[in-house]
Structures are given as C-alpha cells and as structure tokens.
Amino acid sequence: MTNPLLAEWAGDFALPPFAAIGDEDFAPAFAAALDEARANIRAIADNPAPADFANTIAALELSQDSLDRVAAVFFNLSGADSTPAREALQRDLAPKLAAFSSEVTMNTTLFARIDALWRERDGLGLGPEEMRLLDLYRRMFVRAGAALAPEGQGRMAAIKERLAVLSTAFSQNLLADERGWFMALDEGDLEGLPDFVIAAARAAAEERGRPGHVLTLSRSLVVPFLQFSPRRDLREAAYTAWVARGANGGETDNRALAAEILALREERARLLGYESFAAYKLEPEMAKSPERVRDLLMRVWEPARKKAMSDAATLTAMMQADGINGDLEPWDWRYYSERRRLAEHDLDEAELKPYFGLEAMIDAAFDCAGRLFGLQFRPLDLPLYHPDARAWEVTRDGRHMAVFIGDYFARGSKRSGAWCSAMRSQRKLGGEVRPVVVNVCNFAKPSAGEPALLSWDDARTLFHEFGHALHQMLSDVTFGFMSGTSVARDFVELPSQLYEHWLEVPEVLDRHARHAVTGQPMPAELRDRLLAASAYDQGFATVEYIASALVDLAFHEGAAPADPMAVQDAVLVTIGMPRAIRMRHATPHFAHVFSGDGYSAGYYSYMWSEVMDADAFDAFREAGDPFDPDVAKRLERHILSAGGSADEGSLYTAFRGRMPGVEPLLKGRGLLEEV
C-alpha cells in the first residue's frame, strides 16, 4: 500500500491525512524522502551546465520538498502529541538528519556552484529577492562549514550529529520529568483555591485516570496554584518540583548534557574561526555582537532589579504580618503578589478569569486580524492529529490564505510551553503554495461540560502565538527559504509581541471579554482596573527573564564551562539576583537554549524584539486609532508579508521610518521612572 506520508495529499487544502498515518509510516517515509533529496542534490551539484540561479539556487529550493513535508508532520506531532514510538524514532532520526544536512552543506561541488554565482552576482541581473536568497544560501553554507578543509568538515559533521542527539535527549528528559510528576491533592489541600484552579486540578486527575484532584507541572496549573494556595508547605513542594525539572538525577538529568552541548558549540565556532559561539551565533542577527546584547540587557536590568527589590520588601512585610518570620522565598512571591494586587488594584484573578474564556479570546484574536488585515476565519470539520486540535480556513476577499490549526490544552504527550509552527510554508516558486499554520499552547483543560477559562497571562500567550501565525499566514514571498518567520531570531518575536498589544485595547475587551456563564461584558471599571495594572509585578517578570538571558550569554560568550551550574550561580551573584526570584528557565530545563540551537546565545531576542514592538504599537497610537488602516497596511507590507526577503533593520525602518530606542520598552514595563 502507498505510504500516506508520500502520497499526494487530497482534499481542498491538501492537509496531511492524519487519520491514515500510523507511527509505523514515518521511518519508511523518511528513508524514501532522504533518498529522493539526495538524488536531487546530486543532480544539481553534478549538472554539466554552467551554474545559474535557476539550475542551482531555485533548484535547491525545491530539492527537499518530500523530506520537508514528512518532517513537518513528524516534528509537529512529536512536540504536540508524543508517543513512545515517536520518541524512539526521533532519537534515531536526529543524527541521521544532521548527517544529511552536513552532506548537503559540505558538498564541495555544490558549494563551488553557489560560490561562483555569489561572486558574479552583480552581473546576473537578479531581482532584490533573488539576490537576498543567493546571499542567504552562501552564508548558510559557509557557516555550516562548506569552506573548511576536509578534516575540519569531518569534525564539523561529527559535532552536528552529536549535538542533534544531545538536544533530542534534553527535550525528551524534560518531557519525562514534566509527565512523571504530580501531587495528589485531598479536600483540605484545596483550601483557598478558586473554582477554576480546583476544576483544572480535577481535569488533570481525569487525564491521568485518577480520582479527585492532582497538581501537575503544567504552567497553566502550577502558577495559579502558587498564586492562591495558602498552604506554604504545598507551595514549596510544587515550586521545588517545578524548578527541579531536568535536575533530578538518574537517566533524565540534563546537567551533563548541557555541559557537553556547550563544549561542542564552542568547538564548532572555533572551527569556523570565531572566538566564541556567541560571536558566531550573533553575527547574522540584528544585535551582531555579544557586547550589544549585554548593553541592552543591563540597561533594563538595573531599573528592573531596583523595582523588584522594592516589591520584595513589600511582600516580605505582608508575609511577616501573617506571622511568618524569615526571608521571602520564591514559592512565596506569587502568593503574596496576588494578594497585593487585590489590595492595591482591587483585581482578583478569580473575578477576572470568567471574562477570558478560550472561545472568546480566539474570537478576539480573529476579530483583530480581520479589522487590521481583512482576514476571515471559517471553522473546518476535518480529522486532525488529536481530538483537542481544531482548524479554520483563513480567507481574504474570497481568496484562500491559509489553514490555521489551534491546539490549546495541556496533556501529558505535549511538551511544555507554547509555540507556532508550520505544516507547510508559503511560497510562489513552482506554483502558489499557501501555508498550514499551527499554534500550540498548554492551557488547563476543563472538566467535561465546563468552559475553558484563561488567565490574563494565558490570553496574552494566545495573542502572542497568533502574532507568529499571522507572520506565516500573510507571508507573500517567492522562496520558501525566506517565508514567514524565516527571519533573524531577534526579529522573529516582533510580530508576536506586537500582537499582544491589541489585547489591551479597551474596545477589544469591551467586545470580547464577556462572562463565560452570563455572557455579560466585563464591567468598564473592572476593565480599567485591569489595564491600569498592566505593568504590575514587571520588576519580577523582567528580572526572571533577564537573568536567564544573561546566563545564556555567559554560557556562550567565552570558553565553554565544565560546570554550567557553577557559571549560572556566578552570574546570578554578579548581577545581584534577588533571592526570592529565580531564573525563568534554570539550566537543566532551559529548553530554548539546549533543545536545539534556535535560541542559544539568543534568549535575549525577546527583549530585543520588545524594543521594536513597543515602538511599533506607538505608530498606531500616533495615528489615533489602534486599527488605523494605513499603519496596518505598512505593517503587513514591510513586516508581516516580507518574511526574510530583506535585511531586518531595513524592513523595520521601512515600516517606522527609523529604528527605536529603549524608552518605549521601559515605559511599557512601568520601569521608566526608575532610570
């Protein structure tokens, strides 16, 4: 029988035939797709005709279509709905795919064709997008080791294969620790918890086939537990388990893996002539150098730390008023901060949450996209990879733009966090291809028959990931290599973080923040209190984030540390980390940095992008309308549709007329007065 992963995908949108795909189909599909890709690469490299853009660069763009298609399905499912068979195959595939990548980028004949075209580029009559693609391909090959001597190429290939194995192991260890821990809660343990936390704990128990209620390490469950549980002993137990992921000893401990990953990254950079992995990694980014990254982070660190220390003193006084002597601990911060928010801003998460139903927030994200960019969303009744996943067709003026898949609830088979990916990316080469975009979140799933309610932070996450999705949906480039989110890492968070701002637009809340039971809109005075407190506790949030970014930079800026945990501790001492705040991502569970190279030496990029997103939303404020059509058109033209078709700085300047300063970011975080 024909492998469903390799057959032509039928239907209106050519979606993967999820109902027909079994785990046993992936290995043979990968084998066949790799064989096909190798044959295509050989044909390009050995083409007797002189190299030109069509027979080399454009041909490379189409050479791995089958492999890309199979990999997109597999890795989306591996992250969102893992099984033992998929985890085993992922371990097997990691070094094989890394070896294939090295085989391509270190093909000297192929690189000679690319290099010859690049050297003659000014006389080829290429358009701007073609010139950009040629530059990107040559840069990718050089940075992958194409110009190294054979001995160096061999070592580079071995490093990449080993890194692929280690990063896969890091991810799977983290998932195992998250999946394996839970804490049963009896009736007395539920004291003080709002109904929505109790319901989420009951649903978590149902998912595990257990009676009663359990606490898991899903952020959407453990964070509200830490906010509301008056039981300090239970908060400590939950927090300790949460921050210990990847550092519990035994087979799932990630500390030795992190050390080996850092050593191999340093060796990789030095093979290519860079003094550090950070210098290598940052060269193609907007930041360009570790020095510029550190400068930004430290400009924000000092006012953030000052604010956090002031807040810590206030929370400590509250705790001591409860008769608890001693220091404020990390498992105390969220509990007393929530009480302080109620006292100072009259905001109660239990009062707010019914106004942020999942369905209402999906509608809000869609409505804003419609008002800004003319997009419309039609639900689709299609078989997907999991019953929780849902799909919509995205259109504009009757034209098909994308298929959007939303997978919102936490489960044991899903890795933690939230992300956007693509089952298929947009391109025009070889015929118009429209994207299939996926948003994955980990919101607490309600019990049957109860509405799914989000926290304010959850709602921001939904808007954030949908901003990434818009970057994919509105992409309008010729080449898939630069489509959608294929941009510099410190630029990719601009569309996502910018989209979060629309959640804070009063008219959006008035239209969509409706009570999940009564359907009544959020009272205006509650809305105003919520928005007035939008920068509440930003000292804490900024400190925990910047600490992680500075540790990431320290790991990669010099010689690789034999003991990453010692470096982590030293950085935190040097910067004066408040004792009651921990890094947002400690080393053993820092998946951004160690589950692949994506955010390695790059965790700073959220803040780099935030400098732009704060300034970008000011363009709408200056126009006097958060949905100003002219500003929205500029945003789509120069940012959302452009992908990586031009230098990111020039794209932002084309949209805004200049590059921004840090002041809008500090203002947005409520830190400007602390400078």
Burial grade of 371 (CB within 10 A; 0-12, 13-18, 19 or more): middle
The span from the CA of 381 to the CA of 390, in Å, is 8
3-class secondary structure, 244: coil
* Tokens 């299939």 belong to residue: 436
When computed from its CA atoms, the radius of gyration of the chain, rounded to whole angstroms, is 25
Place of tokens 């002539």: 273
Closest of 613, 660, 619, 608 to residue 494, by C-alpha: 613
Other C-beta atoms closer than 10 Å to the C-beta of 654 total 14
Could you give the CA distance from residue 550 to residue 547 in angstroms, rounded to a whole number? 5
Dihedral sign, CA of 556, 561, 565, 568? Answer: negative
Q: Quickly count helices (H) and strands (E) in the chain.
A: 27, 7
DSSP state of 322: T
Closest of 352, 365, 539 to residue 457, by C-alpha: 352
Rounded to an integer, what distance in angstroms lies between the CA atom of residue 47 and that of residue 39?
Answer: 12
**Which tokens in the block code for residue 30?**
């990968």
**Which distant-in-sequence residues (6+ apart) come within 8 Å of 66 by Cβ?**
6, 32, 33, 36, 37
Could you tell me which residues come within 8 angstroms of residue 292 by beta carbon, excluding any fewer than 6 positions away? Answer: none
Q: Alpha helices, DSSP H only, in 81-181?
A: 84-105, 108-119, 128-144, 150-180
In a 3-state reduction of DSSP, which class is residue 396?
strand
Other CB atoms within 10 A of residue 374 CB: 14
By three-state DSSP, how is residue 378 classified? strand
C-alpha 423, offset from chain centre: 16
Which member of 465, 544, 557, 648 is catalytic? 465
Distance CA 10, CA 612 (A): 41
Is the distance from CB of 502 to CB of 508 less than 8 angstroms? Answer: yes
Q: Are 536 and 349 in contact (CB under 8 A)?
A: no
Q: Are 196 and 453 in contact (CB under 8 A)?
A: yes
CA contacts within 13 A on the Cβ side of 443: 33
Nearest to 127 by CA among 31, 54, 59: 54
Give the per-residue SS3 of 549-593. HHHHHHHHHCCCCCCHHHHHHHHHHHHCCCCCCCCCCCHHHCHHH
d(CA 315, CA 535): 17
Please say if 465 is a catalytic residue.
yes
Quote the CA–CA distance of 46 and 465 in Å, as a whole number. 42
Instruction: Give Cα separations from 551 to 275, 417, 539, 556, 558 (angstroms).
Output: 18, 20, 18, 9, 12
The Cα–Cα gap between 312 and 330 comes to: 10
> Residues with catalytic annotation?
465
